[in-house]
Amino acid sequence: MVEGVKTGDFVLPGDFLAMAEEFIPGEGTYEEGGGIYSSRIGIVLLDARTKKASVHPKTRIPPVLKRGSVIIGRVEKIGEQWVEVEIGALRGSENRQPPIPDLGSIHVSDVRREYVKDIKDQFRPGDIVRAKVVNPKRRPIQLSTEGENLGVILATCSNCRTPLERDGMRLVCPNCGHIETRKIADDYRQGRL
C-alpha cells in the first residue's frame, strides 16, 4: 500500500488514495492512470478485506438518477418517434440541482402501455411532465410515462398559451375553447411533483 492516505483521512476531489493494483475503486472514487482518486469531499475507507477504496461524503452529494427514479421535466423537442425532455427536478431531491446530464428522451414505445400511433398527440413543446427513468446510462437518459401517475402534469393551449383544464381524458382551453389530447397523469394540475 502507498504510504500517506489511510482509513479515516479527510480528502478532497482529485486526491490520490491508492494504486489500482492494491484496491478497486468504490463509491466516491475513480480510477485513472493506474491510481484511484477521490471524486468527492469526504472520509477515506480503505477496506483490506474487500480490497475496495471508498470515500464517504462529508457534504450533501448531488442527486443520482437511477432506474425507477421519477423526474419532472419540460418537453423541449418532438421528433417522429421520441420527445426530448429537459430534466428540472428529481422526486425526493426537489431542492437540489438535478444531476448532469439534464436531458431525457421518451420513445413512442414508452409513452403508455397501449399502442401510440403519433407521439405528437401525446406531448407538445412546453408541457411539464412526470416520467420514470428507464435507463440512466443512455444519453439522453431514457424515460417512460407508462403508468397512471406519469405523463403531462401541466399543459398550455397551442393557440393562446392559457393553461389547459382537464375534461375526462382530454384537455380544454378555458379561454378559446380549443380541445387537445395528451398522455396526462391522473393528478394533472394538482400541484404534486
Residue 95 has pLDDT above 90, yes or no: no
10-57 topology per CATH: OB fold (Dihydrolipoamide Acetyltransferase, E2P) (2.40.50)
pLDDT at 96: 67
Residue 54 has pLDDT above 70, yes or no: yes
pLDDT at 153: 95
In this structure, the number of other CB atoms found within 10 A of the CB of residue 110 comes to 21
Domains in the chain: boundaries:
10-57, 70-180
> Taking the model in full, what pTM does it have?
0.67
Residue 50 has pLDDT above 70, yes or no: yes
32 CB-near residues (< 8 Å, 6+ apart)? none
The CATH homologous superfamily of the domain defined by 70-180: Nucleic acid-binding proteins (2.40.50.140)
pLDDT at 68: 93
Do 10-57 and 70-180 fold alike per CATH?
yes
pLDDT digits (tens, 9 = 90+) for 20-48: 999 999 998 999 999 999 988 889 999 98
